[in-house]
């Protein structure tokens, strides 16, 4: 009898309408059609759309192609900003670009030379030294 019930349940789930067909959302307010189990489909989802992308690709990877030219590094910087949902004007990006490039190089060199885990390009990759000090609790002396 239990076998018959499980067959009926499987048949019912197999023939039901998908949530996207009825206009529903599937978690985190995203359309159900955007959910996929394969990593190749997750690449097509924009980086700022929901938690599934970040579970599959936790941070933008730094590889040797980033260092081929200044344009490649700039493209990686723009992708990194989009991935983390950071919007800056062009002047601010140019000001932070050198620090971002240095951070990317340190992450790449550490990851290629170390077998003890790795570093990643998180949301603070282009932060200035002053911003990092403030995040660690440093407060400048009052005059």
Please list the pLDDT of the chain residue by residue as tens digits (143 residues): 556 656 655 655 554 454 444 444 444 444 444 443 444 333 333 444 455 545 555 677 888 999 999 999 999 999 999 999 999 999 999 999 999 999 999 999 998 887 777 888 988 999 998 999 999 888 888 87
> What DSSP string runs through 25-83?
B-STT-BGGG--SSHHHHHHS-TTS-HHHHHHS-SPPP-GGGGS-HHHHHHHHHHHHHH
Question: Residue ranges of the domains in the chain?
Answer: 59-135
pTM of the model: 0.57
pLDDT for the residue 36: 39
CA-to-CA separations, 132 to 5, 124, 136, in angstroms, rounded: 60, 8, 6
Range 59-135 classified under CATH 2.70.98.60: no
């Amino acid at each position: 009898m239990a076998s018959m019930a499980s067959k009926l349940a499987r048949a019912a789930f197999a023939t039901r309408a998908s949530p996207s067909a009825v206009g529903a959302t599937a978690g985190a307010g995203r359309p159900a059609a955007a959910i996929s189990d394969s990593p190749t489909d997750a690449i097509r989802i924009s980086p700022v759309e929901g938690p599934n992308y970040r579970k599959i690709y936790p941070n933008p990877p730094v590889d040797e192609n980033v260092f081929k030219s200044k344009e490649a590094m700039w493209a990686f910087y723009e992708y990194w900003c989009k991935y983390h949902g950071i919007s800056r004007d062009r002047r601010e990006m140019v000001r932070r670009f050198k620090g971002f490039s240095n951070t990317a190089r340190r992450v790449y060199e550490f990851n290629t030379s170390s077998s003890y885990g790795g570093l990643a390009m998180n949301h603070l990759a282009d932060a200035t030294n002053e911003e990092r000090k403030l995040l660690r609790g440093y407060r400048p002396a009052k005059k």
